[in-house]
Amino acid sequence: MYQDVILDHYKHPHGRGLRDGDAEVHHVNPTCGDEITLRVKYDGSRIEDVSYEGQGCSISQASASVLNELLVGKDLAEAQKIQGVFLELMQSKGRLEPDDAMEEILEDAVAFAGVSKYPARVKCALLSWMAWKDATAQALGADVEAEEAERKTA
Amino acid sequence: MYQDVILDHYKHPHGRGLRDGDAEVHHVNPTCGDEITLRVKYDGSRIEDVSYEGQGCSISQASASVLNELLVGKDLAEAQKIQGVFLELMQSKGRLEPDDAMEEILEDAVAFAGVSKYPARVKCALLSWMAWKDATAQALGADVEAEEAERKTA
Amino acid sequence: MTVAHQGLTGLLDTEALRKDFPILERTLHDGKKLVYLDNAATSQTPRQVIDVLSEYYEQHNANVHRGVHVLAEEATALYEGARDKVAEFINAPSRDEVIFTKNASESLNLVANMLGWADEPYRVDHETEIVITEMEHHSNIVPWQLLSQRTGAKLKWFGLTDDGRLDLSNIEEVITEKTKIVSFVLVSNILGTVNPVEAIVRRAQEVGALVLIDASQAAPHMPLDVQALQADFVAFTGHKMCGPTGIGVLWGRQELLEDLPPFLGGGEMIETVSMHSSTYAPAPHKFEAGTPPVAQAVGLGAAVDYLTSIGMDKIAQHEHAITEYAVRRLLEVPDLKIIGPSTAEERGAAISFTLGDIHPHDVGQVLDEQGIAVRVGHHCARPVCLRYGIPATTRASFYLYSTPGEIDTLVEGLEHVRNFFG
Amino acid sequence: MTVAHQGLTGLLDTEALRKDFPILERTLHDGKKLVYLDNAATSQTPRQVIDVLSEYYEQHNANVHRGVHVLAEEATALYEGARDKVAEFINAPSRDEVIFTKNASESLNLVANMLGWADEPYRVDHETEIVITEMEHHSNIVPWQLLSQRTGAKLKWFGLTDDGRLDLSNIEEVITEKTKIVSFVLVSNILGTVNPVEAIVRRAQEVGALVLIDASQAAPHMPLDVQALQADFVAFTGHKMCGPTGIGVLWGRQELLEDLPPFLGGGEMIETVSMHSSTYAPAPHKFEAGTPPVAQAVGLGAAVDYLTSIGMDKIAQHEHAITEYAVRRLLEVPDLKIIGPSTAEERGAAISFTLGDIHPHDVGQVLDEQGIAVRVGHHCARPVCLRYGIPATTRASFYLYSTPGEIDTLVEGLEHVRNFFG
Ligand SMILES: Cc1ncc(COP(=O)(O)O)c(C=O)c1O
Ligand SMILES: Cc1ncc(COP(=O)(O)O)c(C=O)c1O
């Protein structure tokens, strides 16, 4: 499960540190004590920044770094799509072999495919993504949910 | 376990019915619902009567009948000795083969030796004996316990 | 098959099935074949379950959750997989609604305690009422007596009709606006009665009371669909349904499990703990303090697989045929009186009876000498004995491996009992 | 035995012993041999226990008590026989002081609830205090937090010294005349610390407080004598001492068990029940509601036989030697820091550590890839992690079948972890 890409992100995290934001959340993985504090900054529906601080295992740290790299600069709808695909991959219990289409969407995040085989670690990989989702909901309010509902039925 | 002697006492109980007494107790075997109401009447330390009413299985009914036959007319000390031997027999888990000496003391009650192999039934056999002990303690007060303690250390 | 058995339809192929149960090969008292008719007390365990238990300890044993090593992952997958199986078995809307306990008694106590410590609108207190019935197992009486003593709530109950059914004639007085919880048995372990769930649930819903169904004698014997029952909680126990001892189930509606407070505190049930305060994991874990009965849950999962492979509807059919035959044959025994419904309609496979004035202890003992295992006593339902003015009953209870031949042996055994004490 | 192991004395013949544990033959991840160092979470189960479990279900299975048939008598004798064995194992003055629960967590909750519902002089209420320690397992924290919330009693605790011992310097302020109960762990599952029972018991007795000892990590590893401990209650759990899951023990002093109220209500724990009120059986049955974990108690009895046949003193010696060796070898690993006593004195066979700033989850995962099973996380003792300012630890824990060679494999594995993340 420890792909070089993951180790790389772990050792050299992108965008780490807390910067100015519209909303801040603090998420904890109670089973292992991994923690993250995460802020989002929006410019309309465009993600201007995702900044974070946290402690945890290589998987949770690398995942936050990948998230930052992938989502900053994206439009909310697109980010949500990425998040959805990542979630699907992580919940696949190792049964999903990422194809080119998925790799295009997830970029470095496809390296986490192997993690999905380890139920105890899936939560680590998802910690920052759940925090981002939560922070986004707080920053943008009800809009997000409406948009998400729309996306789902689309 | 169903010796003829036991069946005999069951079908033709001795001294059944409630008569005048110095103390009355009501004992229940909660595991099977066997019940006995028992009265003792003392003339000094001599057992003048043990009268009883109850419902229950053949073992508990026969045992009360045997008790009546054995104890009425006896002196308390002797009755306690009989009770002690009967208790020992019943707690022997079938490992005690009654000898002549025991038979002399217990008379018909030796027929219960077989019952001691059946833990669920031992309580039935002891129900009336425990009730008698309790009633005696009530009728004669602290004396009994002192006497019993003496007997034990003798 | 003897002539007497002709016309019995819907029977399972017990000859094949019985091979799954090693204990049924046992002989007692110098070679008498075991005739096991004490299934309402506990069922026997098929090879398929025994093997899964051994395999668990030989191959996968580890503490569940939180582990990153292979054994911990395997044990967790097996444990949580058992939850999936049980959820499917009872048609639960969500696997997270299935709580593993140690037995049905714990499940029932769990609900009583949750409600005692709950906030409004669930809280049971001195202004509220609890409703049970006179045919409950002690495990569905004593927890409510304790709750009533501790909170001051009033305990009420439905009485019984002479033929062993619930007397619902005063349902509007028994279940009122003050009622917080109605807890009753789906199939009585002493009378065999199958109770009319719908009428009770409808009235409970009218007044906004929660409904807890004790399905300990139902889950092993008939298809169980918690959604169709429309109850809020359903409790049952593993050892009566081909599973191991030491495992029970409480199913509860998700919103309730979210709202209600935890009961036992400890490892596994927490989200985060500091010395000053703790937060709790979501259900079902919130209600599973400490290392759970892992092997036993896995064994229950195997039992559910076993029962499902035969088919719960087929099992129900088989038992119905056996019960019908047993009622008919038993009523032929002079002085035998069935306590409970005297037909096989709306009744389960447990039949209680008295035999003249021969005490049940004696009936049971003499039957045992012939290798026939029945239960005698009040069957943890003493109020029923009080109601019918009897000290105890003899109870024969059947399961998927019971045969008409065993009923015949029982009837012969009872004849022998009568002669013995006659 | 390699050179490094010379001088280790008091070791058991693990080569022979390990043959009793089928799971130790397992290979993982393409043929890596299992190195099981997660014994503080759960121990493995010897063939002798697995066989007894199978035999129970194949030969003797029945519901216990109240039965007059052979199987019921056999099952009861086995179940109550297990109680005798456990009583002897812990040197209990009376077998009736041994209560079977489902796990140590239930045992601990049972005491907390008994005290919450008790009459004077035991009653815990808003004018009284409860004392625990900062190194308790969540199962000995949360029940007291719940009791404190429910009754208003004040929860106090002993802190920890930097080297992982209890700080008893303020014992007179912590345990006071208001203290009703002092509950603490005999051997910490996270730090390995063995606590000074006598000092705490003496102070508790001075003020008339009851003492509950959590012996979950002691009973499996050393001779346990409840009389010598002078506690009022002792709790432990079967699955950590070669027994099955689903079984725990609470030992309690007879007078207390007589005086204290029941907790769970139901079958088996009653003397007589009517709809209006019930009376309770004497202990231990008063505290065993419902069908008990029969097979699991019998399995625990077999585990006790197994441990006794080896000898608890010999097991303690073996583990001490292993622990001493492990401490020495682990401290050779660069950046490794032991959380807890850094010698083998007054410590059990669980060693927690951190490895530089490599997260324990990563340590555990990479060790697992080499077949080495350790536990990572807060080990259900999160306050200890908070106390030492760490998110989690890696914990290696040993048992009677652990070998010096396994310690070597662990140390090599840790070197690999360092290189991997270095
Ligand atoms: C010290 C200690 N106390 C209590 C427990 C709880 O035991 P169980 O999970 O079996 O209830 C454990 C183990 O998990 C423990 O290590
Ligand atoms: C109807 C009913 N409810 C509850 C129980 C209690 O089940 P357990 O003893 O497994 O807790 C039983 C069986 O004993 C039962 O028959």
Q: What is the pLDDT of residues B87-113, one digit of tens each?
A: 999 999 888 889 999 999 999 999 999
Q: How far apart are CA A108 and CA A67, in angstroms?
A: 9
- The closest residue, in CA terms, to atom 12 on ligand 2 is C216
- The whole-number average pLDDT for the span D185-193 is 98
Q: Report which of D344, D394, D390 is spatially closest to residue D372, judged by C-alpha positions.
A: D394
Chains B and C touch (3+ CB pairs under 8 A): yes
C242 noted as active-site residue? no
Confidence of residue B154 (pLDDT cuts 50, 70, 90): very low
The whole-chain average pLDDT of chain D stands at 96
Model pLDDT for residues C368-403, shown as the tens digit of each residue = 999 999 999 999 999 999 999 998 999 999 999 999
Residues of B in contact with D66 (CB under 8 A): 31-32, 120
Confidence of residue A5 (pLDDT cuts 50, 70, 90): very high
Q: Which residue has the tokens 């919880």?
A: C181
Q: How far apart are CA C245 and CA C300, in angstroms?
A: 9
Q: How far apart are CA A58 and CA B99, in angstroms?
A: 80
Q: How far apart are CA A146 and CA A100, in angstroms?
A: 30
Model pLDDT for residues C129-186, shown as the tens digit of each residue = 999 999 999 999 999 999 999 999 999 999 999 999 999 999 999 999 999 999 999 9
Q: How far apart are CA D375 and CA D381, in angstroms?
A: 13
Q: How far apart are CA C300 and CA C306, in angstroms?
A: 10
pLDDT at residue D286 is higher than 80:
yes
pLDDT at residue A153 is higher than 70:
no
Of D67, D76, D271, the CB nearest to B30: D271
Chains D and C touch (3+ CB pairs under 8 A): yes
Q: How far apart are CA D50 and CA D46, in angstroms?
A: 6
pLDDT at residue A128 is higher than 90:
yes
D70 touches chain B (CB under 8 A): no
Question: For a substitution probing ligand 2, which of C195, C216, C382, C395 has the most ligand atoms within 8 Å of its CB?
Answer: C216
- The whole-number average pLDDT for the span C236-259 is 98
Helix H, strand E, coil C: the string for chain A is CCCHHHHHHHHCCCCEECCCCCEEEEEEECCCCEEEEEEEEEECCEEEEEEEEEECCHHHHHHHHHHHHHHCCCEHHHHHHHHHHHHHHHCCCCCCCCCHHHHHHHHHHHHHHHHHHCHHHHHHHHHHHHHHHHHHHHHHCHHHHHHHHHHHHC
φ, ψ for residue D87, nearest 5 deg: -60, -45
| 3-state SS class at C374 | coil
Q: How far apart are CA D288 and CA D284, in angstroms?
A: 7
Indicate whether residue D195 lines ligand 1 (CB < 6 A): no
Q: How far apart are CA A154 and CA C202, in angstroms?
A: 40
Give the model's pLDDT for residue D7.
84
Indicate whether residue D39 lines ligand 1 (CB < 6 A): no
Structure tokens at C330: 């038993």
pTM value surpassing 0.90: yes
Indicate whether residue D394 lines ligand 1 (CB < 6 A): no
Indicate whether residue D296 lines ligand 1 (CB < 6 A): no
Alpha-carbon C140 to chain mean position: 11
B33 touches chain C (CB under 8 A): yes
Model pLDDT for residues C316-371, shown as the tens digit of each residue = 999 999 999 999 999 999 999 999 999 999 999 999 999 999 999 999 999 999 99
A27 touches chain C (CB under 8 A): no
Q: Report which of D272, D255, D408 is spatially closest to residue D329, judged by C-alpha positions.
A: D408
Q: How far apart are CA D182 and CA D251, in angstroms?
A: 16
Most B CBs within 10 A among D68, D83, D269, hence the mutation to make, goes to: D68
- The whole-number average pLDDT for the span B105-134 is 92
Q: How far apart are CA D193 and CA D191, in angstroms?
A: 5
CA distance C312 to chain D (A): 23
C77 touches chain A (CB under 8 A): yes
C242 touches chain B (CB under 8 A): no
pLDDT at residue C68 is higher than 90:
no
What H or E segment, with its residue span, contains residue C252?
A: strand C248-252
Chains A and B touch (3+ CB pairs under 8 A): no
Ligand 2 center to residue C264 CA distance, Å?
Answer: 21
pLDDT at residue A94 is higher than 90:
no
pLDDT at residue B147 is higher than 70:
no
* Closest chain A residue to C80, measured at CA: A119
Cis peptide before D284 (omega within 30 of 0): yes
The rounded radius of gyration (Å) of the Cα atoms in chain D is 22
Give the model's pLDDT for residue A34.
85
Q: Which residues of D are catalytic?
A: 380
Confidence of residue D187 (pLDDT cuts 50, 70, 90): very high
Residues of C in contact with B34 (CB under 8 A): 359, 361, 391
Give the model's pLDDT for residue C5.
87
A95 touches chain C (CB under 8 A): no
Give the model's pLDDT for residue B144.
60
DSSP assigned state of C284: T
Interface contact flag, C359 B58, Cβ < 8 Å: yes
- Ligand 2 environment, Cβ below 6 A: C 103-105, 137, 139-140, 185, 189, 214, 216-217, 237, 239, 248, 380; D 267, 290-291
Chains touching chain A at 3 or more Cβ pairs under 8 angstroms? C, D
In sequence order, the β-bridge partners of residue A53 are A37
pLDDT at residue B152 is higher than 80:
no
Give the model's pLDDT for residue A150.
55
Model pLDDT for residues D99-158, shown as the tens digit of each residue = 999 999 999 999 999 999 999 999 999 999 999 999 999 999 999 999 999 999 999 999
- The whole-number average pLDDT for the span A15-40 is 90
Q: Are A50 and A40 in contact (CB under 8 A)?
A: yes
Q: How far apart are CA A43 and CA C369, in angstroms?
A: 86
Residues of D in contact with C358 (CB under 8 A): none
- The whole-number average pLDDT for the span D386-409 is 96
Of C69, C138, C266, the CB nearest to D139: C266
Give the model's pLDDT for residue A154.
45
Alpha helix positions (H), D169-311 = 171-174, 197-207, 226-229, 254-259, 294-310
Question: For a substitution probing ligand 2, which of C107, C136, C137 has the most ligand atoms within 8 Å of its CB?
Answer: C137
φ, ψ for residue C235, nearest 5 deg: -115, 140
Give the model's pLDDT for residue D210.
98
Please report which ligand is nearest the Cα atom of C268: 1
The whole-chain average pLDDT of chain C stands at 96
Ligand 2 center to residue C314 CA distance, Å?
Answer: 23
Query: What angle separates helix D404-421 from helix D360-369, to the nearest 10 degrees?
Result: 120
> For chains C and D, what is the number of CB pairs under 8 angstroms?
318
Of C361, C378, C385, the CB nearest to B57: C361
Q: What angle do CA D101, D103, D108 make, to 5 degrees?
A: 80
Question: For a substitution probing ligand 1, which of D105, D144, D221 has the most ligand atoms within 8 Å of its CB?
Answer: D105
- The whole-number average pLDDT for the span D230-257 is 98
Task: Spell out a b/e string for B118-131, using b for 16 or more CB atoms within 10 Å of the CB, else e.
Answer: bbbbbbbbbbbbbb
Give the model's pLDDT for residue B143.
60
In sequence order, the β-bridge partners of residue D372 are D35
D72 touches chain B (CB under 8 A): yes
* Chain C residues 353-372 with a CB less than 8 Å from chain B: 359-362, 365-366
pLDDT at residue B139 is higher than 70:
yes
Q: Are B7 and C362 in contact (CB under 8 A)?
A: no
Task: Spell out a b/e string for B99-112, using b for 16 or more CB atoms within 10 Å of the CB, else e.
Answer: eeebeebbebbbbb
Of D359, D382, D420, the CB nearest to A57: D359
Interface contact flag, A120 C67, Cβ < 8 Å: yes
Structure tokens at A68: 């930052």
* Closest chain C residue to D154, measured at CA: C276
Model pLDDT for residues D57-77, shown as the tens digit of each residue = 999 999 998 678 999 999 999
DSSP assigned state of D58: I
Structure tokens at A152: 């789902």
DSSP assigned state of D268: T
What H or E segment, with its residue span, contains residue B99?
A: none
pLDDT at residue A149 is higher than 80:
no
- The whole-number average pLDDT for the span C22-50 is 97
pLDDT at residue C51 is higher than 80:
yes
CA distance A94 to chain D (A): 16
The whole-chain average pLDDT of chain B stands at 90
Give the model's pLDDT for residue B151.
53
B59 touches chain C (CB under 8 A): yes
Residues of B in contact with D76 (CB under 8 A): 119-120
φ, ψ for residue D200, nearest 5 deg: -70, -45
Interface contact flag, D50 C58, Cβ < 8 Å: yes
Interface contact flag, C66 A32, Cβ < 8 Å: yes
Indicate whether residue D185 lines ligand 1 (CB < 6 A): yes
